């Protein structure tokens, strides 16, 4: 269980998160949806402890960050570190012994090649593989589907559903609605500095329609396409 | 092109500002530090001219990264990129060339200038897919990455140690051993992404001790061949050899603590001045190490709660 109580986050006068109260229970997948700058990544970073915030975040496993696998939107790698060494690094950091990296290499990554030479998709797959090898209880996946190929997309969806079966807590953001509706039990819709709206699975279709019509009505017409 | 060059100057000024120093003062301090360090270097060893050339070339190669060259090429075209790179390299080499001329090493200064221009017009593709083997794969990342970038320098120090034994010059041997300690300092000058600290399930104290322990083992592995050779061939100076070896370890620790005391910014002029002062007056370490340690713990607490 992870609980967020009255979380506030501002950058100067820019209020990104305002009074966020959420509870996450094991065995459920939580989607996060919102425009660019709505605060999804900031919220994830607050939960991970990578950002300072006002309010309280508690978890049954303490400290939370020791049990959390965090996949950033754009994972960053050192210039001369191989895929294998990256996995070793994050496992060493959590005092996890890893012996059979090859078996865990489900995305067929070129592990002996420098990670910085990987494509965007490969980098994401490497970071994800490392999180899975770490054997975390909680997962934050910030736009995990971005940049990866269709086969890996299918594998990733299956992995997320498998983690749910294993009673993990998974927080997930995506700009592709179908990736959230296929996997999530509930979706939290973030609008900058406004209360978060929670939508349960039966209402996903209505949410998609609502978002589509709101975006299309307000934005495209302004372009004055000729 | 002019705007790009002005922008580079602004970026350097911003970095100095971030270190808490007024840019003009920062430039003056850097010039002063460069003059003092150069004088001390030329006073300490006859190999100073080569070290000056190597330092200048190392800086030039850092500007020659593939992504940077691609950016310049796509925005300024081929001739524009070459012009910018020549101006950058000459500017970067200027202080090193000046010091070589002052010390009457005219040939080396001319070679450095020519190499700087050649490096500017022939960008080196550093992103090739060959992975350099490293003995530090099991404990990434500083020595894993650093060794791959500097392994040629280690070969050079081992070569120097062999020469020292051949010509029976213990001072040259000691210089080679000290260099094996100085090279890894560069592995700790840049801060890592927050993630690489956050990911550790350690307290700040334990995190730091792990970093110090790994660095001690790795730097010992690199300097052990020279240490052993010196103890065998110059055993009458074993006290000095061992003293310098342990001093090297302590300074390695100080550099690591300086890095995390400055986090999330790079080691700045303030930390650099403390480090230089402690090299010339080692008892200062008694105050500097605890100072850096406490500052590091406070910085790390934000990520390792």
CA B294 remoteness from chain centre: 24
Of B131, B132, B201, the CB nearest to A93: B201
Q: Which residue of A has its CA nearest to B207?
A: A93
Contact B195, A70 (CB under 8 A): yes
Do residue B195 and residue A76 have CB atoms under 8 angstroms apart? yes
ipTM (interface pTM):
0.85
Q: Which residue of B has its CA nearest to A71?
A: B195
Total domains in chain A come to: 1
- Closest-CA distance of chain B to residue A166, Å: 22
Of A49, A88, A93, the CB nearest to B305: A49
Please state the rounded mean pLDDT for residues A1-29: 92
- Closest-CA distance of chain B to residue A69, Å: 8
Query: Is the CB of residue B235 less than 8 Å away from at least one CB of chain A?
Result: no
Please state the rounded mean pLDDT for residues B52-60: 85
Q: Which residue of A has its CA nearest to B191?
A: A78
Report CA torsion sign: B225, B230, B231, B237: negative
Do residue B199 and residue A63 have CB atoms under 8 angstroms apart? no
Task: Give the mean pLDDT of chain B.
Answer: 89
Q: Is residue A223 part of a domain?
A: no
β-bridge partners, A9: A17
Helix (H) and strand (E) counts in chain B:
12, 0
Q: Which residues of chain A neighbour B196 with C-beta distances below 8 Å?
A: 89, 93
Q: Is residue A225 part of a domain?
A: no
**How far apart are alpha carbons B105 and B97 in whole angstroms?**
9
Query: Is the CB of residue B148 less than 8 Å away from at least one CB of chain A?
Result: yes
Do residue B145 and residue A80 have CB atoms under 8 angstroms apart? yes
**How far apart are alpha carbons A187 and A171 in whole angstroms?**
10
Domain ranges for chain B, please list them.
Answer: 2-121, 142-301
Please state the rounded mean pLDDT for residues B60-75: 79
Of A63, A112, A114, the CB nearest to B305: A63
In angstroms, what CA-CA distances link B147 with A38, A55, B66, B180, B297?
Answer: 42, 44, 20, 11, 27
Give yes or no for residue B174 having a pLDDT over 70: yes
**How far apart are alpha carbons B227 and A96 in whole angstroms?**
34
pLDDT digits (tens, 9 = 90+) for B82-127: 889 899 999 999 999 999 999 999 999 999 999 989 888 876 655 5
In angstroms, what CA-CA distances link A71 with A142, A143, B50, B71?
Answer: 6, 8, 45, 28
Do residue A89 and residue B196 have CB atoms under 8 angstroms apart? yes
Contacts of B126 (CB under 8 A, 6+ apart): B61, B64, B65, B66
pLDDT digits (tens, 9 = 90+) for B242-266: 999 999 999 999 999 999 999 998 8
Count interface pairs A-B at CB distance under 8 A.
69
Q: Residue A120 has what pLDDT?
A: 87
Do residue B127 and residue A48 have CB atoms under 8 angstroms apart? no
Query: Is the CB of residue A205 less than 8 Å away from at least one CB of chain B?
Result: no
Do residue A52 and residue B148 have CB atoms under 8 angstroms apart? no
Domain range for A23: 2-218
Q: Which residues of chain B neighbour A117 with C-beta distances below 8 Å?
A: 127, 129
- Closest-CA distance of chain B to residue A86, Å: 8
Q: Residue B123 has what pLDDT?
A: 61
Please state the rounded mean pLDDT for residues A48-60: 94
pLDDT digits (tens, 9 = 90+) for A145-179: 988 888 888 999 999 999 999 999 999 999 888 89
Chain B, window 19-78: residues with a beta carbon less than 8 angstroms from a chain A beta carbon: none
Q: Which residues of chain B neighbour A63 with C-beta distances below 8 Å?
A: 305
Of B137, B148, B303, the CB nearest to A49: B303
CA B203 remoteness from chain centre: 28
Of B138, B148, B201, the CB nearest to A66: B201
pLDDT digits (tens, 9 = 90+) for B14-49: 888 877 788 899 899 889 988 988 888 888 777 788
Question: In this structure, what is the dihedral angle of CA atoms A78, A83, A86, A88, given to the nearest 10 degrees?
Answer: -150
**How far apart are alpha carbons B144 and B151 in whole angstroms?**
11
Q: How confident is the model at residue B64 (pLDDT cuts 50, 70, 90)?
A: confident
Query: Is the CB of residue A99 less than 8 Å away from at least one CB of chain B?
Result: no
Query: Is the CB of residue A80 less than 8 Å away from at least one CB of chain B?
Result: yes
Query: Is the CB of residue A66 less than 8 Å away from at least one CB of chain B?
Result: yes
At A47, which CATH number?
3.40.50.300
Q: How confident is the model at residue B71 (pLDDT cuts 50, 70, 90)?
A: confident
pLDDT digits (tens, 9 = 90+) for A111-150: 999 998 898 889 999 999 999 999 999 999 999 998 888 8
Of A65, A94, A114, the CB nearest to B131: A114
Query: Is the CB of residue A57 less than 8 Å away from at least one CB of chain B?
Result: no
Q: Residue B124 has what pLDDT?
A: 60
Q: Which residues of chain B neighbour A52 with C-beta distances below 8 Å?
A: 302
**How far apart are alpha carbons A74 and A221 in whole angstroms?**
32
């Amino acid at each position: 269980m992870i609980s967020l109580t009255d979380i506030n986050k501002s950058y100067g006068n820019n209020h990104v998160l305002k009074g966020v109260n959420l509870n996450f229970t094991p065995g459920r997948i939580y989607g996060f949806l919102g425009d660019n700058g709505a605060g999804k990544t900031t919220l994830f970073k607050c939960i991970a402890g990578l950002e300072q915030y006002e309010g309280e975040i508690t978890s049954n496993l303490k400290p939370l960050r020791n049990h959390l696998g965090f996949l950033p939107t754009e994972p960053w790698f050192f210039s001369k570190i191989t895929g294998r060494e990256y996995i070793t690094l994050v496992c060493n950091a959590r005092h996890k012994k890893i012996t059979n990296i090859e078996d865990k290499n489900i995305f067929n990554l070129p592990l002996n090649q420098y990670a910085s030479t990987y494509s965007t998709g490969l980098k994401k797959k490497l970071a994800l593989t490392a999180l899975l090898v770490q054997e975390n209880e909680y997962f934050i996946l910030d736009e995990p589907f971005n940049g990866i190929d269709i086969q890996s997309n299918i594998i990733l969806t299956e992995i997320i559903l498998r983690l749910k079966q294993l009673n993990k807590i998974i927080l997930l953001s995506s700009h592709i609605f179908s990736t959230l509706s296929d996997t999530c039990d509930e979706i939290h819709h973030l609008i900058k500095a406004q209360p978060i709206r929670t939508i349960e699975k039966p209402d996903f279709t209505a949410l998609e329609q609502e978002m589509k019509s709101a975006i299309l009505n307000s934005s495209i017409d302004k372009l004055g396409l000729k | 092109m002019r705007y790009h060059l002005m922008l580079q100057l602004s970026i350097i000024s911003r970095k100095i500002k971030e270190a808490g120093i007024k840019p003009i003062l920062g430039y003056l301090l850097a010039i002063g530090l460069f003059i003092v360090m150069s004088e001390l270097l030329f006073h300490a060893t006859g190999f100073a001219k080569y070290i000056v050339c190597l330092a200048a070339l190392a800086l030039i190669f850092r500007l020659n990264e593939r992504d940077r060259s691609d950016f310049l090429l796509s925005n300024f075209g081929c001739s524009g990129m070459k012009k910018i790179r020549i101006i950058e390299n000459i500017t970067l080499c200027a202080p090193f060339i000046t010091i070589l001329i002052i010390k009457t090493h005219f040939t080396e200064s001319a070679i450095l200038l020519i190499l700087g221009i050649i490096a500017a017009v022939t960008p080196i593709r550093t992103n090739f897919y060959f992975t350099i083997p490293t003995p530090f794969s099991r404990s990434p990342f500083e020595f894993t990455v650093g060794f791959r970038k500097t392994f040629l320098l280690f070969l050079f120090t081992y070569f120097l140690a062999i020469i020292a034994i051949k010509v029976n010059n213990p001072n040259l041997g000691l210089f080679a051993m000290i260099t094996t300690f100085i090279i890894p300092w560069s592995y700790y000058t840049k801060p890592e992404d927050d993630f690489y600290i956050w990911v550790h399930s350690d307290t700040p104290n334990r995190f730091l001790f792990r970093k110090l322990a790994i660095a001690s083992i790795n730097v010992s592995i690199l300097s052990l061949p020279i240490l052993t050779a010196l103890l065998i061939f110059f055993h009458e100076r074993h006290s000095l050899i061992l003293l310098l070896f342990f001093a090297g370890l302590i300074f390695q620790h100080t550099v690591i603590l300086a890095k995390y005391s400055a986090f999330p910014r790079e080691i700045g002029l303030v930390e650099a001045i403390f480090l230089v002062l402690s090299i010339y007056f080692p008892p200062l370490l008694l105050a500097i190490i605890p100072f850096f340690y406490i500052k590091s713990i406070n910085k790390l607490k934000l990520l390792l709660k």
